[in-house]
Structure 1
Amino acid sequence: MAGRSAYPSESFDLDRLATPIGIALLVTDAEGALRALDWEDYEHRMRELLRLHYGAVELRERAAAAAVKAALSGYFDGDLAQLASIAWRVAGTPFQRKVWTALAQIPVGTTQSYGALAARLDMPKAVRAVGHANGSNPISVVLPCHRLIGADGSLVKYGGGLERKRWLLRHEGVEV
């Protein structure tokens, strides 16, 4: 039908949370699950990722679930285990979802190289693909893409900027 999107339109709620490293944008669904977390200065990228993953998306200014905000605030206040309590949901390709699920399994206070993550997924030659999927991660911090580092231990590529990545890793007890 002419003029109709290939995707049904999605409606999500958009809220903001002040953190020590900037204003976090929180996108949640009707059940309160986190669909995206990005930084206010990267809102355009977040909206583009939402469009790529869900098609036409309407974002309504509405408070995120209290539990999500409390858990994120707790994390930023030093209770690092709080991230595990946040319900999240992602779209993306099956490969992207596999990478993002693996990110959530990297323990707080540790890092992993892109190559080690690819190997853990039984795809040791897919280092670049893992890096690309990591770069398309819509839920920063909760799906901890900041815990991925270069094979030589260097900080590489973080969608929210390397200063935020450095802060997050130090906050979790990783010396960088």
Structure 2
Amino acid sequence: MTSNAQFVEWAVVDSAIGPLLLAATGQGLVNVVFHAHEPVRDRAVRALGTRFGTEPAPAVPGRPGPLEEPIRQVGAYFEGRLRAFTLPLDWSLASGFNRQVLRELATGVPYGSVVGYGDLASRVGEPKAAQAVGVAMGANPLPVVVPCHRVVESHGGLGGFGGGLETKRRLLALEGVLPEPLF
């Protein structure tokens, strides 16, 4: 273990959009990964180990730890009982412009609303940076909690989404922005 190593704990939780990997450090929730079936989970855990210089540890169910509250809040969100996450976040997997945009998204685009890529760029003082906002959304290490699913195209299209467009549709339907699929 290197001298700058940090403790990282992870768990996979079931959700309405499939398994999510949640990872936390002593600073807070650091990563949310979609479609966390075994190969995706293993890649994500290895990447966290490389980034933080430590072997991430699986959370122990029933034992207090840094994932206890994130797991509770993510569950409440998918049950429709939580509209705003109140978790400490570890922003170490985002930097520069991306971090600035993601922080604005986390605090300035509430549950049940959407914002355009260009509008979000303007909010952070870079009105011509709509494409860069799209890149920031694709690099979001904390999807769902930092709601990149709420960023849409100015003409009403969904835009892209790292978790897939069906996942984006389902998250927006959960928040009442889109109708629930008929089947």
TM-score using structure 1 length: 0.84
CA-to-aligned-CA distance 1:13-50 (integer Å, 9 cap, x gap): 0111111111110101135x110011204447745874
| Contact 1:9/1:58 (<8 A) preserved | no
Are the equivalent residues in 2 in contact too, given 1:80–1:108 (CA < 8 A)? no
Matched, 1:85 2:81: no
Please list every run of at least 4 consecutive aligned residues from structure 1 whose deviation after the TM superposition is greater than 4 angstroms.
44-52
2:163 alignment partner in structure 1 = 160
Identical aligned pairs, as a percentage? 32
- Count of aligned positions: 169
User: Is the Cα contact below 8 Å between 2:49 and 2:55 reproduced in 1?
Assistant: no
Q: Deviations over 1:107-153 (max 9, x none)?
A: 11011111110011110111111111111110010000000111211
CA distance in 2, matches of 1:61, 1:95: 31
Deviations 1:29-77 (A, max 9, x none): 135x11001120444774587479x454532112453222111111100
Partner of 2:147: 144
Q: Secondary structure at the match of 1:58?
A: coil
Match of 2:71 among 52, 69, 72: 69
Q: Which runs of 5+ in 1 are unaligned?
A: none
* Structure with higher strand content: 1
Aligned partners of 2:13 and 2:19 also within 8 Å: yes
CA distance in 1 between counterparts of 2:157 and 2:29 reads 29
DSSP 3-state at the match of 1:84: coil
**1:86-105 to 2 correspondences below 5 Å:** 86-91=87-92, 92-104=94-106, 105=108
Q: Which runs of 5+ in 2 are unaligned?
A: 61-65
Correspondence for 2:32 among 31, 37, 54? 37
Question: 1 CA distance for matches of 2:133 and 2:43?
Answer: 19
What TM-score, normalized by structure 2, do the two folds share? 0.81
User: SS at the partner of 2:13?
Assistant: strand
Q: 1:126 to 1:55 in 2, by over 3 A?
A: farther
Rounded to whole Å, the distance in 2 between the matches of 1:109 and 1:45 is 32
CA-CA distance at 1:103 after TM superposition: 1.2
